[in-house]
Amino acid sequence: MKHTAAVVASLIVVFCFLQLSVLGDEDKIFGGTLATAGQFPFMIHLFDKSFGSHFCGGSLIGPLHILTAAHCTDGWDMSKILVYDNSLVVSQTVDDADARVPIEAFYQHPGYDGYSYETHYDITVVKLAKPFLASRNMKTIRLASKRINEGTMINVAGWGEVESGSQSNRLLWTRIPVISIDVCRTHNGYEGVIGASEVCAFALDKDACFGDSGGPLFTGSEDRAVIYGLVSWGDGCGEHPTVYTKVSAYYDWIVEKTTHTVKTDCEGCSTIADWRDMCVSIGGTYKKTSASYRCSDLNVLKTRNIDYSWSDCSNSLVKDLCKQIGVYSCVDNVAWCSPL
């Protein structure tokens, strides 16, 4: 989480705090409870190979896409960053090849300005080079398309600083109430820097803290969770509200950045009907050209409910398409494509 002084006096002060938050975020949720296995299957953490440490959190919103904060990705060298799964103990994932995936690309919001909180836009979509293995018990979290009401109890989870300020590798979580923007602005230094694209939550001694940046503010658990915000910034931990990037304010932008095209070359294919039907069933646009079959406008956010089956497990086209948007399996020559 980015931290600001009680009064944001200058852009230089803000930049200094930004650098401290990104480079020094290595601990856990403040006033939190230990998470259990499978409780938050959408949680991921970002790992910097240069420093050999966790530095930010994030959420799996599609088989190949992560949502995190822009201040976590600002100035990134992708070759030095890995995305790790929701293993409860961070130290156990470092040498586990199945728990980590490299990054293919990231889309930091073009409006983000790391020198000033007043520009907002603290959001990034990360595209993975490959999906996590199905055996890792990873599942996606739903995106909120509407604001959340004040007073709602909501969850925050991550690998950030605890009360003692010491390093803890355990995934922790806590519940806090959403407060209004007006109430949030009454805190010294917050007035004028909180906008409609943000949401605030606050409970004394329960909070996101250093290292939780980019992690989700969400309701529910397991496959019923909905993400409403991303840990962005605040003044202290458990003393003042934390400001979160409001996901619903960027819903259309997220859809745009997670929509992609799958192009499959195929000559003389006789089973293309299955591939076409699957493309249409997940909201894609099917088109046949002279040398290829293309599924365009494939919105990965709409693939959570896919449960498509076909009788021929040798259909490589459908298998390849499934791997773009879900989990492929074959039992007794019946092939299935299920959501991650």
Catalytic residues: 71, 122, 213
Nearest to 260 by CA among 243, 238, 282: 282
Cβ burial, residue 133 (10 Å; 0-12/13-18/19+): middle
Number of Cα atoms under 13 Å in the Cβ half of residue 65:
25
- Rounded to a whole number of angstroms, the distance between the first and last alpha carbons of the chain is 28
The single residue listed with the structure tokens 């998470």 is: 35
Q: What CA–CA distance (Å, rounded) separates 225 from 214?
A: 16
Amino acid at 64: L
- Which strands make up the sheet holding 103-108, listed edge to edge? 100-101, 81-84, 43-48, 53-62, 65-68, 124-128, 103-108
The single residue listed with the structure tokens 């930010």 is: 56
Cβ burial, residue 146 (10 Å; 0-12/13-18/19+): exposed
